[in-house]
Amino acid sequence: MTAIDQLFARLKTERRKAFMPFITAGDPSVAFTCKVLQLLDRLGCSMAEVGIPYSDPIADGPVIQASYTRALNHKIKLAEIFEATASVKKTLSMPLVSMVSYAIIHRVGPEKYIDDAIHAGFSGAIVPDLLVEESSALSKRCKERDFNLIQLVTPTTPQERALRIAEQSSGFLYFVSVTGITGERTELPPDLVDRVSWLRERSALPICIGFGISKPEHVRLLAPVSDGVIVGSAIVRMMENAGTNEASALDSIEALVQALMAAL
């Protein structure tokens, strides 16, 4: 079992849900990325997603797009990110997963990416632009290395295709809550709970919901039907201020995370 598999098995036994924050690596620096990861771990987050900056947005809203652009303007490199997470991995009890474009994995080479990610402390990768029709080879490599390949199901994914995505995934399924891009929202679709419930009845994988979750009421709505919630843009927005006031940014992140976790 991977660290992610162990996490969800433990949470199920404890009848608890996963809280999974997303942060952008290298915004404003890899040193600050490490500080945020250590903060999230101290706060009791279940897992952290680390976004690997990429120049071509996939489903990223303006907040995460801007954070990727800032990191890329600082000439951030994948090796630098892996070196940073490797330096703090022994201080973290929560698993890490990378949110990474398949273009990056392809350029590095799937075997090398998996090997380097494991060495850097990652237990899996979310690959949002990997088509299910083209995922079997990477899925096989990941399973051979006990490295989870997490894929996305969206509100417009046909049911048959959603089941195929589940078959090629491991660790958990990332269920996109809304049609469109990431970002904070005032409300979530009314039929979201029904769609997630349908998939949960047909897949043994844990299902975690992301995109648009930024308020305690969102968490309270989704906790009963999901195995975890993912929060990104609301946290990344606060990281933007770290360039001028790092302590204030950390305090803001801590307050938001505590409020959201209290709603689980």
Residue numbers annotated as active site: 49, 60
Q: How many CA atoms lie within 13 A of 264 on its CB side?
A: 24
Q: Are 230 and 20 contacting, i.e. CB atoms less than 8 angstroms apart?
A: yes
Distance between CA atoms of 233 and 182, rounded to whole angstroms? 7
DSSP letters spanning 134-164: G-HHHHHHHHHTT-EEE-EE-TTS-HHHHHH
- In the chain, which ranges are E strands? 18-24, 48-51, 96-99, 122-126, 148-150, 152-153, 173-176, 207-210, 228-231
Q: Are 145 and 114 contacting, i.e. CB atoms less than 8 angstroms apart?
A: yes
Overall size of the chain counted in residues: 264
Q: Sheet holding 48-51: strands in order across?
A: 148-150, 122-126, 96-99, 48-51, 18-24, 228-231, 207-210, 173-176, 152-153
61: left (phi over 0), alpha (psi -120 to 50) or beta: beta
Distance between CA atoms of 150 and 197, rounded to whole angstroms? 19
Q: Are 151 and 169 contacting, i.e. CB atoms less than 8 angstroms apart?
A: yes
Task: Kindly state the tokens that stand for 232.
Answer: 């990104």
Task: Kindly state the tokens that stand for 56.
Answer: 């071509």
